Amino acid sequence: MKNIVILISGGGSNMAAIVKAAQRDAWEDKYQARVAAVISNRADAGGLAFAREHAIPTAVLSHQDFAQHAQPREAFDAALQTLIDPYQPFLVVLAGFMRILTPGFVQHYDQRLLNIHPSLLPAFAGLHTHERAIEAGCRYAGATVHRVTAELDHGPILAQAVVPVLPGDTADQLAARVLTQEHRIYPAAIAELLRAG
């Protein structure tokens, strides 16, 4: 069985879209793949309830617990690795996981670590993508699924979706339009990788 471990920090709507696609498209039968675990760095992440309702094992590892550590990021990532590795994941999927990862963590999951970012990368890496796209006068915005490399929001692009930026759009309106497309391209990109084996 190919295990997929999903990391979240918030609402987890992308995670839910992946879980639903796995059920709808019978990933267990087709690809011998399943969402094996959902891990959050925040205990209040809304997505945890969805995962539990779907009988998916969950774990919470709070980054705040590592604040006093001499090297908090390295210590957090090492602890995260020890939660993930027992699943021997085929893919580790970042789905709204709002953490900057250490190069060592990224290297450990080389080629198996995916992210979705709410912009048409390489434009607007980082935060506040929708505000920045509106501010810049972009006519189009979108989302990108990419492999994770040590450089934030970079790495080989696997899928993109484009949406229009409409006159008078607020950042929230644009975010909602982009998110709908995220829910389509993320499961599709993962299925493509499962198919390729």
Residues lying near ligand GAR in the complex (CB under 6 A) are found at 8, 10-14, 95-96, 116-118, 143, 179, 182
Nearest to 129 by CA among 99, 113, 153: 153
CB 119, min distance to ligand GAR, A? 8
Kindly list the catalytic residues: 117
CB 121, min distance to ligand GAR, A? 10
Q: Which is nearer to ligand GAR, 6 or 36 (CB)?
A: 6
CB 92, min distance to ligand GAR, A? 14
> Which residue's entry shows tokens 């979240």?
8
> Residue 101: left (phi > 0), alpha (psi -120 to 50), or beta?
beta
Give 60: exposed, middle or buried? Use CB within 10 Å, 0-12, 13-18, 19+: middle
Residue 6 near residue 18, CB atoms below 8 Å? yes
> What are the Cα distances from residue 80, in Å, to 86, 129, 142, 179?
11, 27, 30, 26
Q: Which is nearer to ligand GAR, 52 or 195 (CB)?
A: 52
CB 54, min distance to ligand GAR, A? 15
Give 124: exposed, middle or buried? Use CB within 10 Å, 0-12, 13-18, 19+: buried
Residue at shortest CB range from ligand GAR: 96
Q: Which is nearer to ligand GAR, 84 or 146 (CB)?
A: 146
Q: Which is nearer to ligand GAR, 90 or 153 (CB)?
A: 153
Burial 25-53, CB ≥16 within 10 A → b, else e: eebeeebebbbbbbbbbbeebebbebbee
